[in-house]
Amino acid sequence: MTSSNTTETQTRSAKEWVQVLAKYREPSIRRSILELAATLVPFAALWALAWASLEVSYWLAFAIAMLNGVFLVRIFVIQHDCGHASYFPNRTAQDWVGRCLGVLTLTPYDVWRRTHSIHHSHHGNLDQRGIGDVLTLTVEEYRARSPFGRLMYRLYRNPLILFVLGPSYLFILQNRLPFGLMNSGWRYWTSAMGTNAVIAIALGLMIWLGGLMPVLLIYLPTSVIAGTIGVWLFYVQHQFEETHWSKTEDWQLHHAALEGSSHYVLPQPLRWLTANIGIHHVHHLYSRIPFYRLPEVLKDNADLAEAQRLTIWQSFKSVNLHLWDEKLQKLMSFREAKRLYGVA
């Protein structure tokens, strides 16, 4: 991985990059509408095709539904941009677009926007973990846990839990309540319950029109695949060997944003389907940049194009990284922690 962790290789500091990136922040209404249409139209068409395929083959409908999961990922990224106020100039318009898309992504918009803001505000700060991130223990914290506590953390970091069971739990069950904001006022309860009500109505209509099969073979597979891809992307954007974690006294927002977020290098079709979310180091440095302008940033700024690069092959290896070593300033596997520190 090409890292920007060595300061002598940086032509600009993280704070200086913020000033450079400010010129890319303005969205285009026309482009935003086109991107939204280019996402929702294929999504709806595949939904309709999958429904029609139920008359031909359940397996065909299931396969089409799984394929449609990637368009649901793109819908989520557009919702994500709305939450960062980067998609439309008018905040009210993009908030309502985000709320409507949240019904499709099973994500209460106002709840998610707040918890994701917390993630951006505290990412990389060891003293501010717990909301909007993947639980990551330091070697010493893991050592201090009881055998049962270590077992639970190992289970949590198991790929089956993280990328198969976890996403389904997160999007289908956990998002039904404003976890993390349960005592933060009516607004977040309204967001969660309002989203739940519209989802319930949509599910009721599906069952009324087509029985359980559209729900079981189309709705759930599309949602589960999208959730799995989304969690995987979020994981590799922050969980790589040379990521950034530090205590509050040493933590700096822009420094952590640049060094603690990867540039996930994907082939063009996948970049389009994931709405450039892999250019995550730039996004964390300046979250007000619309996703469709992120490639423009890399084209104009070679240093950012080369910084924090993570290939698909390297991302697979990151699954074996579990603990943050404060001494070596890197993520390491359980096996390496045992070899270096005797931590079982």
Instruction: Flag the least confident range among 8-12, 163-167, 271-275.
Output: 8-12
Query: Considering the chain, what percentage of its residues have pLDDT values greater than 70?
Result: 97
Q: Which two tokens stand for residue 221?
A: 């597979």
Q: Which residues of 7-42 are buried (b: 16+ CB within 10 A; e: fewer)?
A: eeeeeeebeebbebbeebeebeeeebeebbeebbee
Instruction: Give the pLDDT mean for 63-92.
Output: 97
Q: List beta partners, residue 137.
A: 323
Residue 12's pLDDT is 76
Residues of the chain with pLDDT > 90, as a percent, come to 93
What is the pLDDT averaged over residues 232-236?
97
Contact 57, 50 (CB under 8 A): no
Find the helix or strand (DSSP H, E) in which 254 lies: helix 253-259
SS3 label, residue 71:
helix
User: Residue 273 pLDDT > 70, yes or no?
Assistant: yes
Residue 246 pLDDT exceeds 80:
yes
Are 314 and 264 a contacting pair, CB within 8 Å? no
Could you give the count of Cα atoms lying within 13 Å of 178 in the half-sphere of its Cβ?
Answer: 22
Q: Of the given ranges (40-44, 65-69, 129-133, 138-142), which has the lowest mean pLDDT?
A: 129-133
C-alpha dihedral sign at 148, 151, 155, 156: positive
What is the per-residue pLDDT for 33? 98
**Is 335's pLDDT higher than 90?**
yes
Whole-number Å distance between alpha carbons of 36 and 145: 47
Banded model confidence at residue 15, pLDDT cuts 50, 70, 90: confident
- The confidence score (pLDDT) of residue 1 equals 57
pLDDT band at 2 (very low <50, low <70, confident <90, very high): very low
Q: What pTM, to 2 d.p., does this model score? A: 0.93
Locus of tokens 């060891």? 126
The residue ranking higher by pLDDT, 171 or 344, is 171
**CA quadruple 71, 76, 82, 86: dihedral, nearest 10:** -70
Q: Provide the terminal-to-terminal Cα distance of the chain, rounded to the nearest Å.
A: 28
Asked whether the predicted pLDDT for residue 10 surpasses 60, the reply is no
